A = this chain, B = another copy of it.
Amino acid sequence: MTKLMPSWLQSANDPACPFPLNNLPYGVFSVGDGALHCGVAIGDRILDATGLEAAGVLRADPDADVLDAPYWNDFMELGPEAWARYRDGLQKLLAERADEVAQDACLKYSVPLAEATLHMPFRVSEYTDFYAGKHHAVNVGTMFRGAENALPPNWLHIPIGYNGRASSVVVSGTDIRRPWGQLKGPNDEAPRWAPCARFDIELEMGAIVGQASNGPISVDQADANIFGYVLLNDWSARDIQAWEYQPLGPFQAKATATSVSPWIVTTAALAPFRCDTPAREKELLPHLKDTGPMLYDIDLSVTLQPEGGEAHEISATNYKEMYYSSAQQLAHHTTSGCPMRVGDLLGSGTISGPEKENRGSLLELSWGGKEPLEVAPGIVRSFIEDGDTLALHGAAHGEGYMIGFGTCTGTVVPALEDLD
């Protein structure tokens, strides 16, 4: 297990700090009414990457100001060699032995994290959501089709996915308005138009495509094309979904919003935490076979905080519970020739674990509302209530340090009133 890389910035060396020198995640920030800049989290500060570039202290590209933008897409376009070179440059500036000139530049071009507003760290080109966690698929399949038919026949052969709406992806902290939709219970004669009554979360990781492709690519190439990861909450309207999803899949049930954590944690930072997918229950066809450890050991949890109350953990799981890696998902995504672009976002699918307390959605935690969850004494939930704040938390744990993601949080606000 790798150890903490010490920094002269003491706050980065605290074992409880999510942003040590080993991490260096990429975000976009502003202070007050200032412009949006690219930033790098380190300890309790944000390094102003746009400012460092303009000052000539650290450039990603000698010829273009790729960080003079309110997103990291242009930087991603540069490719893996530039990503590694830039990370190396950051570590030199921030390492314990950095000289005074470097330290002064970093202090000049940085702000306290606590004073910054965080924005979407990248421009989402397109968004795809998968269904590639087996515990989740079995739980949901059992609820809807019975234990015998829980897993669809294709599930062990391809990572099932569907296209979502990039326009609905928002950064952590954005309020989420409860949607309206057509709802129809199994005993209703006809559907009605009403606010969603079964609004839910899905605890996921999001992989960000950092290199374009045009045609089928291998799992190895797919792994190399992934730039980094975020926490991702795929807000889901279960009652809208139940009525709409046959035969062509979820549509409006998933289009209200998808929240992502504000920091892109790079695959470089996560490299020490690579791990294998679980044992295959059926051999995969060669084009999707595992070729190395491409999952990551990342501890994940969900908290629910009722309006005016405290946050309570309702689930804890780990990204290594996934059956398919993001590399396999991306490779599958390209099989038919589908062009992929920088900024494409791939949701992993809900990451539930084997036990009840590891379930990554309220649908599973309350078993479709049949077993309401006691969040804390006197606080019971089947689905989300207005005013609830749901937050995802994630970190990989090394020796004396962690690679944190920042939280992915959203408060559910009441549905619009005038849509009857």
List A residues at the B interface (Cβ < 8 Å). Answer: 125-126, 131, 152, 154, 157-158, 160-168, 177, 179-182, 184, 190-193, 196, 215-216, 237, 240, 243-253, 255-257, 282, 285-287, 332-333, 335-341, 344, 416, 419
Grouping DSSP codes into helix (H, G, I), strand (E, B) and loop, the A interface class, with mixed when no group exceeds half, is loop
Asked, given contacts A126-B167, A336-B180, A336-B255, whether A419 binds B287 with beta carbons under 8 Å apart, the answer is: yes
Query: Is there an interface contact between B165 and A162, defined as CB atoms closer than 8 Å?
Result: no
Say yes or no: A162 contacts B163, CB within 8 Å. Answer: yes
If A126-B165, A154-B191 touch, whether A248 touches B160 (CB-CB below 8 Å) is yes
Contacts of A191 in B (CB 8 A): 154, 157-158, 285
| 9 pairs, CB–CB < 8 Å, chain A vs chain B | A131-B247, A157-B190, A160-B247, A162-B249, A167-B338, A215-B416, A245-B248, A256-B336, A257-B337
Task: Tell me whether A338 and B256 are in contact (CB under 8 A).
Answer: yes
Q: Please give, as numbers and ranges, the residues of chain B lying within 8 Å of A125 by CB-CB distance.
A: 167
Partner of A216, one of B131, B180, B335: B180
- Residues of B with C-beta under 8 A to A167: 125-126, 338-341, 344
Assuming A252-B332, A257-B337, what are 6 further A-B pairs, CB within 8 angstroms? A125-B167, A162-B162, A162-B249, A163-B165, A165-B338, A177-B337
> In the docked arrangement, what's the CA distance between A285 and B184, Å?
12
Chain B residues, CB < 8 A from A163: 162-165, 251
Tell which of B190, B255, B285 touches A338, judged by Cβ atoms closer than 8 Å: B255
Contact between chains at A252 and B335 (CB < 8 Å): yes
Bound-state Cα–Cα, A220 to B413, Å: 27
Which residue of the partner chain, among B126, B196, B240, B337, contacts A126 with CB atoms under 8 Å? B126
Cβ–Cβ contact B215 & A335, under 8 A = no
User: Measured between alpha carbons, how far is A125 from B182 in the docked complex, in Å?
Assistant: 26
B160-A335 in contact (CB<8A): no
With A162-B251, A182-B285, A216-B419 as known contacts, state yes or no: A244 contacts B154, CB within 8 Å.
yes
How far apart are A58's CB and chain B's nearest CB, in angstroms?
32
Q: How many copies of the shown chain assemble into the complex?
A: 2
Contact B161 A248 (CB under 8 A): yes
Contacts of A190 in B (CB 8 A): 157, 282
Question: Within 8 Å CB of A131, what residues of B?
Answer: 247-248
> Are B162 and A126 touching (Cβ within 8 A)?
no
Complex Cα gap A34–B237 (Å): 50
> Which B residue's beta carbon lies closest to that of A157?
B191
- The distance from the CB of A154 to the nearest CB of chain B, in whole angstroms, is 6
Question: Given the complex of chains A and B, what is the CA–CA distance between A336 and B180 in angstroms?
Answer: 5
Q: Are B180 and A335 in contact (CB under 8 A)?
A: yes
How far does the alpha carbon of A126 sit from the alpha carbon of B216 in the complex, in Å? 21
* Known contacts A163-B164, A193-B285, A336-B181: A248-B247 contact under CB 8 Å: no
**Nearest CB on B from A6, distance (A):** 43
Bound Cα distance A88, B192 (Å): 44
- Which residues of chain B come closer than 8 Å to A244, judged between CB atoms? 154, 158, 160
Which B residues touch A339, using CB under 8 A? 165, 167-168
Chain B residue, CB-CB nearest to A162: B248
Docked pose: A249 CA to B160 CA in angstroms:
9
**Which residue of the partner chain B has the closest CB to A158?**
B182
The distance from the CB of A170 to the nearest CB of chain B, in whole angstroms, is: 9
The one of B182, B256, B336, B344 in contact with A179, judged by C-beta atoms closer than 8 angstroms, is: B336
Question: How many angstroms between the C-alpha atoms of A335 and B168 in the bound complex?
Answer: 13
Q: CB < 8 Å: which of B154, B193, B215, B285 contacts A286? A: B193
